[in-house]
Structures are given as C-alpha cells and as structure tokens.
C-alpha cells in the first residue's frame, strides 16, 4: 500500500521544482515624490504608471535621504551606518586606524549584499547602472555578488561622455563609450542584454540603477522641445496642479492645502529671463521620459521571454528631488576651460553642466517640504511600486509605512530564502498579501547632521538650519505644517531619547 501511495505521489508531482521568482529591481536617482504620472505628474511615464496600477503602490515609503546611504540600505537590508555608509562614498582605501566604520564609505564585508545572498540560492545576478557604494575594485559589484556588471562606479557624470574623474566599467574593465552614447539608454540596453543572456532554467536578479534624472541635465533636443511649453507656467503653478491631481487621486487625504513655498525660492513671474529655467525643467522631464521608455523595453523583454508572471518588478527613488547647484562642482569636474564653455552651451546639450535647483525641486517634491539629504518628508519620501502578477492579481494602494532596508528581506521572503545573517529590515510580504504588517517599533535617520525618527504616526525631525527639533503627527499632518514640539513636550522628549539610544547603538557620530 505504501509503495502504491509513493508511486502516486511521484507521478502527480511536477517534473521540476517550481522556479523561484525573477527580480527586476529599478532605482531612480534624485527623483521627486510627484515626478511620475501615478503620483500627480504631467511627465509621460506610462510604463511606470502601468506597473503601479496593476501592482502595489506604497504612498508612505522611505529611502535614506541621499544616494549612497539609500543604496547601502537597499543592498544589505541594514541601516546605512550598519553597512558602512552613514555619509558618502570615499575614494580612499579603508584604514582601520583612522576611519570610523559606520562612515567608512564602502559596504561593510560583515553585511552580505542581496546579490550575494541570492547567488547562493541559484540566482543569476546582473547589475546595470550606478554603484556608488565602493570606489576601490575590491568593492565593485563583481566582487559583491554580481555575475555581470555594467555602469558607473561613481556618483554622477555627463550622460554623453565619461568625465576623467569617473569610472565607467563592465565586469571590472574600463568601458569606452561610442560617439552615440547616452547613459540612460546604455543602462537600459545592457539590462536587456543581460536578460537575453540569462539561462531560462535559473531565476535571475537584475538590479537596474539609473543615473536619471540626477544632474547634469542632459537630453536630446527634440524631447526637450516637447516639454518647453508645459513649463512656461512656472514652478508655483506646476506645484499647485500636481497637488490638485494628488488630491483627486486620494493620495494625501490629510493634506488640506499646500505648505508655503520655500522662502528661498523666487517667484517665477519676477524672473527677467525665465527661458533658461524653462529649459532646465523641460530637460529634466525628457530625462524622466527616456528612463520610463527604457523600463518599458525591459518589461517587453521579460514578456518576450515568457517570464512575466513569475517576475517581480520593484521601482523607487534613492532620495527626494535635488536642490543642489553646480558652480563649484562643474569647475572641478569639467576643468576651468570646460566649465567656461558649459556656461554658453544650451541646457541639455553635450558640454552643458547644470541642475534645476530649489525652484523646480520644490515642485518635484509636491506636497512635501525640503529636499534631498534633509530628513523632512521631501528628502526621504519615495513612491514604491511592487508588481508581481503571480501574487498580486489586482492592483491596490497602501499607506502602510516601509523603509528601503525592508526590500532585502521582502525579496528573500517571496523566494522562501532565509538570510544568512539577521537584517534590520522587515519583510513587506504581508502587505503584498493585503494584510497588516507588524510595524517596526520605529525607524530613524541620520545624514550630515540631519536627523529624524518615526514611531507610528509621530515623527520627530531635526531642522539643521534652525537647529531645533520639530514634532509632527503624520496621520493628520503629512506635509509637516504644524510643529507640535512645544505643545507636546513629553512626546518630544520620549522620541529624543529613543533617537539618542538608536544613534548610539549604530554608531552615529
């Protein structure tokens, strides 16, 4: 009888064990909270909008506020300081006698990367795009778990060429771009080439880390032209229009009105020559559109391979919109002659080197305050899209809170893989199953003296300009318009104490 039962089990079982899900993890660079259509934007992002409509859209998801810390948390499932990236990447070799480990400037060897973990379980691991978590070759992607890598080791460069102080590589070797090179297209093309090369018998992990829409602002003239008329209205009007769409979509039920515009931002109607500002935002929008088109091509390749239903797509940004200006940086990157030439080169063209500043960034982060590297909502908020047809059969939106370090355990959890070492992140899988996830006791941030802690609906944030703690109830006031620190001193003190203990535990300076 036992033999008959065993024979029946063997005959009824699949010939091969079910393949683990493929993963396409896409990270945008310096994208604002409202920069895709799904979040209120006028920019053409149909592919991301489709993924969000048919997947799960997280409206209260956080990154780490800056490129290097966010990438470290994404790759390791840890707070940035625990992974060695409390500040920014360093070009110097690690000297244990002089360097403080939480700020060492490259990934800690004690924290495995997601690529290292997945490769142990049969995954093919590919990366195309920006690394920015280790400048020395022993810390490059091929040495941290990726079978194949193409991209920019450093933080930013021209989209048309590689500046002399930057490293564009493929599998540990210098990559020489052609005359037709454009960074975003190159990242998409190489991602697709990796998918074509993948062995269909094994699952793949593809990490696509775009440099777009990070400065310098570069895009083809024909695409820039398509957007110029749109931005003649200026940043105040753009911000209002995006907010109106967000309200209509029900994205921000607690936000009754827009907070005041940053007082450092000029009124658009007072500008003597607004054309250059219009060109900047038009170029930025074109860069976003090109990235979305590349994502669309990656989606089509996955469909063509027959792997669509078994592939997880994840999309988010590494920080909020960028306020930075580039005068000093441009002179350093281009040299004095190149910098002088850039001043007379049209925005978006090869040889130009500029960004769009606080003016347009204030609209990019609609409706939130502040920008990249601040810990206010404008610095750390990102839309998160997770699309996985096998699990998510009907798209929905969630306001459950998550942090970028949660993606590491989530992707392992979906694949039924246990991490080799405990991680700080918590799996989002219950949310994907439309359940309520047990929250982190709190989540916290620190970068360049900017600090914050969120516990439930309460957020304490340090304003590094005013040098004071501010307290907000995000359920009632997501836009951080009403500081309750003086009205609720006990809550303020309680969160200060919890932040202080957290900071001591992970080695914040």
Cis bond upstream, residue 367 (ω within 30): yes
Is 132 one of the annotated active-site residues of the chain?
yes
Would strands 311-317 and 22-28 be described as parallel, antiparallel, or unpaired? parallel
Residue 75: which residues within 8 A CB-CB, separation 6 or more?
A: 83, 107, 113, 114, 115, 133, 144, 408
Residues ≥6 apart with Cβ < 8 Å to 359: 235, 265, 266, 268, 277
Rounded to 5 degrees, φ, ψ at 204 are -120, 150
Whether omega before 360 lies within 30 degrees of 0, making that bond cis, reads no
- Catalytic residue, chosen from 81, 132, 214, 387, is 132
Pair of tokens at residue 407: 């993606």
Output b/e per residue, 473-509; b: 16+ Cβ within 10 A: bbeebbbbbebbbeeeeebbeebbebbeebbeebbbe
Q: How far apart are alpha carbons 406 and 403 in whole angstroms?
A: 5
For Cα atoms 437, 383, 358, give the angle at the middle one, nearest 5 degrees.
140
252: phi then psi, degrees, rounded to nearest 5: -130, 75
Q: Distance (Å, rounded) from C-alpha 24 to C-alpha 256? A: 36
Q: Is 67 labeled as catalytic in the residue annotation? A: yes
DSSP state of 43: S
Q: How do the residues of the chain divide into helix, strand and coil, expressed in percent and rounded to 5?
A: 40, 15, 45
DSSP class of residue 218 equals B
Q: Closest Cα partner for 440 from 392, 406, 474? A: 406
Radius of gyration of the chain (CA): 23
Beta bridge partners of 152: 168
**DSSP class of residue 106?**
S
* SS3 track for 341-395: HHHCCCCECCCCCCCCHHHHHHHHCCCCCCCCCCCCHHHHEEEEEEECCCCCCCC
Q: Which residues contact 116 (CB under 8 A, 6 or more apart)?
A: 144, 145
| Cross-sheet strand order for the sheet of 443-447 | 443-447, 450-455, 458-463, 468-473
φ, ψ (nearest 5 deg) of residue 160: -100, -15
Reported for 89-96, long-range contacts at CB under 8 A and 24+ positions apart, including other chains, are 89/132, 89/133, 89/134, 89/135, 89/154, 89/155, 90/135, 91/135, 93/136
Which residue numbers are catalytic? Answer: 67, 132
């Amino acid at each position: 009888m036992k033999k008959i039962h065993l024979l029946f089990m063997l005959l009824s079982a699949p010939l091969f064990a079910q393949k683990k899900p493929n993963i396409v993890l896409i990270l945008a660079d310096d994208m604002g909270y409202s920069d895709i259509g799904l979040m209120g934007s006028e920019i053409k992002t149909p592919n991301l909008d489709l993924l969000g409509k048919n997947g799960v859209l997280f409206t209260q998801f956080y990154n780490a506020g800056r490129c290097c810390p966010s990438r470290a948390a994404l790759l390791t499932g840890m707070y940035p300081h625990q992974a060695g990236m409390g500040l920014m990447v360093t070009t110097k070799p690690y000297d244990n006698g002089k360097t403080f480990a939480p700020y060492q400037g490259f990934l800690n060897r004690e924290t495995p990367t997601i690529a290292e973990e997945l490769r142990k379980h049969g995954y093919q691991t590919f990366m195309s795009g920006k690394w920015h978590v280790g400048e020395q070759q022993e810390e490059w992607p091929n040495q941290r778990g990726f079978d194949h890598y193409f991209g920019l080791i450093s933080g930013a460069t021209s989209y048309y060429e590689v500046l002399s102080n930057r490293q564009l590589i493929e599998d540990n070797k210098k990559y020489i771009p052609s005359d037709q090179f454009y960074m975003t297209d190159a990242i998409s093309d190489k991602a697709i080439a990796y998918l074509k090369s993948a062995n269909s018998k094994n699952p793949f992990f593809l990490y696509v880390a775009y440099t777009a829409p990070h400065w310098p602002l570069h895009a083809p003239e024909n695409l820039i032209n398509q957007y110029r008329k749109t931005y003649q209205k200026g940043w105040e009007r753009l911000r209002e229009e995006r907010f109106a769409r967000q309200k209509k979509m029900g994205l921000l039920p607690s936000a009754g009105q827009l907070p005041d515009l940053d007082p450092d931002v000029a009124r658009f109607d007072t500008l003597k020559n607004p054309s250059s500002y219009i060109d900047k935002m038009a170029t930025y929008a074109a860069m976003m559109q090109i990235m979305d088109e590349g994502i669309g091509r990656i989606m089509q390749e996955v469909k063509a391979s027959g792997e669509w239903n078994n592939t997880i797509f994840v999309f988010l940004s590494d920080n909020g919109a960028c306020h930075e200006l580039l005068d000093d940086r441009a002179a350093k990157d281009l040299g004095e002659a190149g910098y002088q030439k850039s001043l007379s080169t049209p925005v978006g063209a090869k040889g130009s080197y500029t960004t769009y500043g606080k003016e347009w960034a204030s609209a990019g982060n609609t409706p939130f305050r502040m920008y990249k590297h601040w810990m206010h909502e404008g610095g750390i908020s990102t839309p998160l899209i997770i699309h996985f047809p096998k699990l998510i059969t009907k798209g929905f939106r969630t306001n459950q809170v998550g942090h970028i370090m949660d993606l590491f355990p989530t992707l392992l959890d979906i694949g039924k893989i246990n991490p080799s070492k405990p991680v700080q992140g918590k799996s989002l899988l219950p949310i994907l199953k439309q359940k309520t996830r047990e929250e982190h006791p709190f989540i916290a941030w620190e970068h360049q003296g900017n600090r914050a802690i969120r516990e439930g609906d309460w957020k304490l944030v340090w304003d590094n300009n005013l040098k004071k703690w501010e307290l907000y109830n995000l359920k009632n006031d997501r836009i951080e318009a009403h500081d309750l620190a003086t009205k609720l001193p006990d809550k303020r003190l309680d969160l200060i104490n919890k932040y202080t203990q957290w900071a001591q535990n992970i080695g914040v300076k």
